[in-house]
Amino acid sequence: MKIAILGGTGKEGAGLGYRWAVAGHHIIIGSRVAERAEAKAAELTALLPGFGEPLQGMGNVAAAQAADLVILSVPYEAQKATLEEVKPALVGKLLISVVVPLKPPKLSQVWLPEAGSAAAEAQQLLGEQTRVAAAFQNVSAEHLLDLNHAIACDVLICGDKAADREIAAQLAQDAGMRGIHAGPLVNAGIVEGLTAVLISINIRHKIKHAGIRITGITD
């Protein structure tokens, strides 16, 4: 699958893109500045000798145009401007939002936008022509570049269509994690807010990457 990662120069987007490239996807790192995207793609490609050219870099709009599936991995503050710019390129596509709305300086206190979640806000902005799902918010970027490091975190996936959630679940698996259907997009605020809770736990326990696991699933 040809996957664009808008804001893919950031730690989370780059780490996911790296793992997906290893899994055989064609990754397009997107950035506001095309040169920065190209540099990050080259940097990640250098970590994967023998893989050919699994990662490219482009400006966000070109990246969104070129891809079948688009990941939104920008800071929340940049979400609106980014989406307004790429909106036409997203028509008919699935956008998976990785965005976590956090309000500095108290990152350990839950803060959610008026729409209920960053993902719901994205859906409002993009309209019905683009499907939005939410996933990967709780995954620490810390160890994504270390393929030998098992990520001790399930991926909660929210979206109104089961088929879209299933795509995200496959991407979770491709990145070495378990994807779990967490209900419709209206539930995304809980998954996004959980990141602030995990930051709170990190601070309290002086650890760096608290995660979550769902228990009780037998299959």
Q: Which CB sits closer to its own copies, 89 or 120? A: 120
- CA distances 11 to 28, 66, 67, 75, 187, Å, are 15, 22, 21, 11, 25
Give the DSSP per-residue string, 75-127. -HHHHHHHHHHHGGGGTTSEEEE------TT-TTS----TTSSHHHHHHHHH-
Q: Which CB sits closer to its own copies, 46 or 217? A: 217
Q: Is 184 in the site for its own copies (CB under 8 A)?
A: yes
Minimum CB–partner distance for residue 134 and its own copies (Å) = 12
Q: Is 37 in the site for its own copies (CB under 8 A)?
A: no
Q: Is 209 in the site for its own copies (CB under 8 A)?
A: yes
Q: Is 212 in the site for its own copies (CB under 8 A)?
A: yes
Residue 194's contacts (CB-CB under 8 Å, 6 or more residues apart) are 137, 138, 156, 212
Q: Is 54 in the site for its own copies (CB under 8 A)?
A: no
Q: What CA–CA distance (Å, rounded) separates 214 from 34?
A: 39
Q: What CA–CA distance (Å, rounded) separates 21 from 45?
A: 9
Binds its own copies (CB under 8 A): choice among 63, 86, 175, 198: 198
Residue 213, CA atoms < 13 Å, CB-side half-sphere: 6
Rounded to 5 degrees, what angle do the CA atoms 113, 115, 121 make? Answer: 90
Q: Is 190 in the site for its own copies (CB under 8 A)?
A: yes
Q: Is 176 in the site for its own copies (CB under 8 A)?
A: no
Q: Which CB sits closer to its own copies, 45 or 140? A: 140
Q: Is 191 in the site for its own copies (CB under 8 A)?
A: yes
Per CB under 8 A, which of residues 125..164 are in contact with its own copies?
A: 152-153, 156
> Which residues contact its own copies (rule: CB under 8 A)?
108-110, 152-153, 156, 180-184, 186-187, 189-191, 193-194, 196-198, 200-202, 204-205, 207-219
